[in-house]
Amino acid sequence: MTNDDEPRRSTRRKVTTDATTNETSPPTKKVKRKIKVKRKIAKKTSDDDSISSTESTTKKTPTKKKKTVKSDEESVSSTTSSKSPTKKRAAAKKKTTKKVEPQRITDRDELEKLWDADTALEEKGSYTFKILSWNVAGMRALVRKQPEALAKLAMDHQIDVLCLQESKLQEEHVTDPKLKLKGFVLENEGYDSHWNCCKTKKGYSGTVAFIKKREGNDDAGEKKSKKKQATIGSFFAKNVTSAKSTSTSNDVIGGIDVQNLIPENVSFSIGNEKHDQEGRIICMDFPLFSIVNLYVPNSGQKLERLDYRTEEWDMDLLKFMQNKEKERGVPVIWFGDLNVAHKEYDCWNFGAKHLAKQAGLTQQERDSFQSQLDTNGGDYVDAFRHLYPEAKGHYSYWSQRAGNRAPNKGLRLDYFICSKSLFEYDTDQKVFVRDSYMIPEQEGSDHCPVVLEMEIRK
């Protein structure tokens, strides 16, 4: 490029000089040729620069477009991803809503009332003795949430003996003034109280019995009870005159001797110390019958107590009841949460495969329960099922966790098991079972109360 530039500069100077003097000399052929070559080179360079510039512009433009497109895609992708969880949740919710169906309600057969206490008293002079049993699943919770529940039950149904299971109390709770159990446990309604608390574990098991006061039963159950239990029971003052019940100072109610309505003894054992540590029993001996409030051991979620329950507890309980009936010569009744659904009609989904390994529904528990009833050819009777053999949908327990109460998906775990003689109405004995039923509308626990009505003839 140096050789080409030199004449070019020389020419320009000469031209300029000539222009200044207004005298332009014609260029020589050699100069013309050089100028022509130079112009071609310059033109070519200009064209190359133009092409290069065009190519550069062409290359950059797609790059920008590509970046723009990519940016848009990223924006769309970002927007989509930000909305995606919401859409997924909405879709999942919509899908779930479609699958939810109204729960099938288990029908409860209507039962005919078998006995009328007022009519029996007026026409026959018979007194109707009523026992109410209820697993309250924690008495302190019941006191806090429904402080008037027991009093209302006792008064509305005119209960003579009101028994509870799974009180979950310790002995110190009974006398704790902060818990106000004294005012809650039917003292003002005219009932004596008896407590049996678990001694091996806190907040576990436990039974309670409230017995309507009568003239002369101020110390009922205290003489033969254990000293500690007597102290707990006697904590509540026994003031018959302040009772709001049907207690009377007369020796006769209707045609019945009041002494027949007063327990001769209250005890807290079935004769085996191993079974007596968990507060599961209160035995009340009345002149004409013996009744036993029970909370039968649950076999456990993993059936870890199944063998203990069926091979020890059930067998020892049966022996105790047989001996009690033989020694006293009167009918016996054991009742409460017996922790077994015995027959097909006692379980809303009887036959489901998983039930075979569920506490209260195993074949071992059902067989053990049946063997108690079959003793000596059938000495004992399930009162409700005897009176209503085909009744369906009558349960005493519903899982709260599963929300099974409203659709009536329940189990019948609470019973009155009675001596067969209590159903032999054509005999000259004085006591007969007349009716048994549940009170499913009563809330406050995962169980509902069950009632037994007995006729005591004059």
DSSP H helix total and E strand total for the chain: 12, 16
CA distance 185 to 162: 10
> Among residues 337, 346, 379, 414, which one is catalytic?
337
DSSP 222-280: TSSS-HHHHHHHHTS---GGG--SS--SSSEETTEEGGGGS-SEEE---S-TTTGGG--
> Among residues 295, 345, 380, 397, which one is catalytic?
295
> Under a CB-based contact definition with an 8 Å cutoff, are residues 261 and 215 in contact?
no
323 is in an annotated binding site: no
192 is in an annotated binding site: no
Instruction: Please enumerate in sequence order all residues whose Cβ is within 8 A of that of 87, keeping only pairs 6 or more positions apart, or say none.
Output: none
How many other CB atoms are found less than 10 A from the CB of residue 117?
A: 18
Catalytic (active site) residue 447: yes
166 is in an annotated binding site: yes
CA distance 221 to 226: 10
Burial state string for 202-231 with b = 16 or more CB within 10 A and e = fewer than 16: eebbbbbbbbbbbeebeebbbeebeeebbe
The upper half-sphere exposure of residue 373, i.e. CA atoms within 13 Å in the direction of its Cβ, equals 16
Give Cα 323 distance to the centre of its chain: 38
CA distance 431 to 173: 37
Of 406, 296, 446, 438, the closest CA to residue 359 belongs to 296
337 is in an annotated binding site: yes
The tokens describing 157, both together, are 């149904």
Instruction: Please enumerate in sequence order all residues whose Cβ is within 8 A of that of 365, keeping only pairs 6 or more positions apart, or say none.
Output: 299, 306, 309, 310, 339, 340, 359
Parallel/antiparallel/unpaired status of strands 414-419 and 380-382: antiparallel
> Where is 435: in which H helix or E strand?
strand 431-438
CA distance 77 to 83: 10
The tokens describing 41, both together, are 């080179």
> Under a CB-based contact definition with an 8 Å cutoff, are residues 399 and 348 in contact?
no
Residues at the binding site for Mg(2+) are 135, 166, 337, 339, 446-447
Residues at the binding site are 135, 166, 337, 339, 446-447
Residues identified as active-site: 295, 337, 447
